Amino acid sequence: MTPAQKSEAIELLKDKFSQYSNFYVTNTESLTVAQISKLRRVCFEKNVEMKVAKNTLIKKALESLNGEKYAGIYDSLHGVTALMFSESPKEPAVILSAFRTESKGEKPVLKAAFIGEDLFVGDNQLTALKNIKTKNELIGEVIGLLQSPISRVIAALQNQNPEGGAEAATETAPEAPEAPATDAPATDAPAAE
């Protein structure tokens, strides 16, 4: 790789690290070409961008952006490294878990993940990352919590009978008393003049 190609690759990586606040560092070593292709296809379908890059170039890109912020990632940069960039903090973890289950293997291995401002190091963090709530899930939960009391109030109001509403309708109103019958026979006599 020429120096010009290296600097171009570093700039491309810098753009990706700047564009995405969530990225995963994985080890795809010992995966077959078919498995890598399948993983790339799944990533594409789930809007996760996957890039394979040299560790030295990844480190230089991160150092040029903010060396201290990304310092915890440097120890993870060894072996074959594939980066997974995503808007969703948990989508790459879901993809990695599903891929492992389907292939009945332990690869790709999670080396590290940078989610927002938090660093997760080690493959044992995959389950925790898979269970992270996305922004939309959190918004849905908050809306559900806010709607819960309102729906209970509405249900209570619908079941309540204002001024005896439904109960009064079910009771029968007393019938009006009939006019008393008279025993006097009706006469067809003409009226007196």
Residue 169's pLDDT band (boundaries 50, 70, 90)?
Answer: very low
Buried b / exposed e along 87-108 (16+ C-beta atoms within 10 A): ebbbbbbbbbbebbeeeeeebb
Cβ contacts of residue 32 below 8 Å, gap of 6+? none
- Give yes or no for a contact between 123 and 26, defined as CB atoms under 8 angstroms apart: no
- Residue spans per domain, the chain: 3-132
Q: Fold for domain 3-132?
A: Alpha-Beta Plaits (3.30.70)
pTM score, whole prediction: 0.70
C-alpha distances (whole Å) from 79 to each of 53, 84, 92, 112 are 11, 16, 20, 13
Q: Name every residue whose Cβ is closer than 8 Å to that of residue 133 and which is 6 or more positions away in sequence.
A: 90, 141
Tell me the pLDDT tens digit for each residue of 95-140. 999 999 998 888 899 999 999 889 999 999 999 998 887 777 778 7
Tens-digit pLDDT profile for residues 4-52: 999 999 999 999 999 999 999 999 998 999 999 999 999 999 999 999 9
- The secondary structure element, H or E, covering residue 84 is strand 81-86
Q: Please report the pLDDT score of residue 89 as a whole number.
A: 92
